[in-house]
Structure 1
Amino acid sequence: MASKRVFTEDDFSCSVCCDIFKDPALLPCGHSACRGCIKQYWSYRGPKECPLCRKRCHKSPHTNLVLRNLSETFRELQGDPETLCDSHGETLKFYCVDEARLVCVVCRESEKHQNHTFRPVDEMAAQMKNILQSALESVKVNLKSVQDAQINCQQNINQIKQQAQHIRKQITGEFEKLHQILRAEKKATLTALGEEAQQRTQRLEEHIEKLNTEMQSFSNTIEDISKECNSKNFHFIKNFDKALERAQCTQTCPVASTEEIEVAKYLGNLQFRVWEKVPVFRIQTQLILSTSKPPIKPVLGS
């Protein structure tokens, strides 16, 4: 009578990473490997080929459902070492409130934990998730503040551009009245306006870049903490303190920076200021005023 074959870890191990298959993909050549290992191998090698036999793959590999299910079953039968007590090898089913750590049934009954308070793992995990979710809400509020600040900055940029365009039209109209002599002054004033608008716009764009960085930071924090909340209870409790510390980390939330072109600098008493800068106009004006005065009549009897 033939003996039954006993499966070992090698039967469910990826030949690339040597670990139990995670999302195994079946290549056209018949070999299987973790999908992540295949992607990493292809990004390193360049041509899409099998990591084992080097045969070219012209199509995207499909998931090996049978091998994936068998690998998950084998992993469950093996048991996760992190869920077992280091001292007694029993499953960690309780949480010691006094020592803030996971314990097994033997630990709970030991003298070391006498008079300690214990909670079931599932109950404690649910309580910790509520705490972390509350902290996560504050992170979301900070993200919303940064998004609002970014929108305000963008609106400010559009306002500056419209404002600069409006002032440019007014400046152009004023300088047209001064004809060719005022062309140089017009050009200089418009250049200064453009530089100021560019500088203010640039400062706002740099501020937006900082806001993007803050947004990415908050988004990463939310994504990482969300993953922690969806992880297994044992892993979640183990990483809870770090996750909570990250969620509660106070960061200075940047506010919207406001820029505005100094309208009076360009339009306030424009004609008078230009007149002061053009000696020819001052001379012509003085001549006109002097010739427009009535002649002085001689005094009778002198």
Structure 2
Amino acid sequence: MAAGKPLHDLAEDLLCSVCLDLFKEAVVLECGHSFCKSCIDKVWDSEKIPSCPECREVFSSKKYTVNWQLCKAVESSQRSRQYEKEEIPNQEQKSHYLLGSHECTEHKEVLKVFCQDDGCPVCVICMISSKHKGHTFIPILEATSMFQDKLKNTVSSLEVKMKHLKECQSSQEQNISAVKDDAQSLEQHITSEFAKLRQFLQDKEQRMIQQLKVEAAEILEKMTENLEKIEEMNKTLQKNKSNIESKMWQEDSILFLKGITDEIKRLEEEEEEENQTNERKGVFNAELVSGSLSLGVYRGPLQYSIWKEMLSVISPGLSHLTLDPNTAHPWLTLSKDLTSVTHGLVQLQLSNSRKRYDSHHCVLGSQGFTSGRHYWEVEVGCKPDWELGVTKESSNRKGIIAKKPKDGYWVIHLSNKMYYSVGLPVPFLGLSVNPQKIGVYLDYEGGQVSFYNADNMSHIYTFTDTFTERLYPYFWVGSYSKPLKLFHLKL
């Protein structure tokens, strides 16, 4: 693009860093860097989030303005080019013109040849001088052409490297964008999962508080009603007491004794009648209503009881799997409830069906999955060797088996006190503790199989793939040792 052009036309401030040519409709970004309008549009069309190709600053929107000053500078440069083309019609004339302007500082002669041994232009007198005796010379134009070709090759090599780096840059940017998208998606997933638990706890809290308020209100209503009765009785007694005291302190003895017998008889009959109708004991025939809140309901192992209820909303719940005897190797012994498998001492006489393993001491779960998220746990205890994971329905079960993801096996393995992720370039898993119980998580649509130390739910390893057929839980028992047990949570 730039071959044969004057050096002052190649000033970096007139070149677009994307196409490496003179600016065409120069525009300036918010960060201050300028590009051709078509170049920045092309770059931004390939990016999810617009950014500057030079400083990598990220922008909220695709926004730029025309750089009028730069456009005028480019127009001036183009006019200068046209003028030079008219003044110096071709490269040969230009070369001769330039050659005539350079002289040898020692002999004042025109520099016409190039000394290959010393790597510099010299004049014809220098050629015959003792200083250059035995040296090889070529014409200036030939030397120029030769070195230009070498530089062109270097430029071509640099362009190839730049193209590769551009591709690497684009790939790295895509990877960065993918990680950011994954991080955002996973953050939303975490927030959603915790929101469900918080909502459950908040709903349960409000229900218990409402239940407490209703129970307290019922008790208080009875007590309030009884209090009103006591107050009414007290008023009646106070009135009777006042009447009796008024009669009792009558100064006129005649008036006091007049009808006194009937009055006392009436009072005794009222008291006797009241005692007969009130079978319960109390002060002044008043009954105290007692009541207490259900302390055991509201103050007890609340967290434990709520945790039990939470199991009904946990997704995925703990899958209660069983083992499939039709897939078990003849040397394996399954428990009656099909939740435990041991390497037996006697080989069983079983039909050699297509489902059954015949070389590896393996067994599959009875339940297969074609969708959804599932989680189960297996007690491995102190077993020295085992394999756990999932396998697809069509995977090979006969003869020597390659237990790799490409063959339909996504498993981890313990052997010789080393943990492996089978079939991967870096198989060793750096576990600092020996799990007693392994958790296996399958997200069918998400293409994920993850393994956990179920004792503390610390992550061990995750496979990612695309699943297209039914998957079954997979178990390899290992040598003669303790059994593998499916863990069924009991509350």
Query: TM-score if structure 2 supplies the norm length?
Result: 0.22
Larger helix percent: 1
Query: TM-score if structure 1 supplies the norm length?
Result: 0.34
Larger strand percent: 2
Higher radius of gyration, 1 or 2: 2
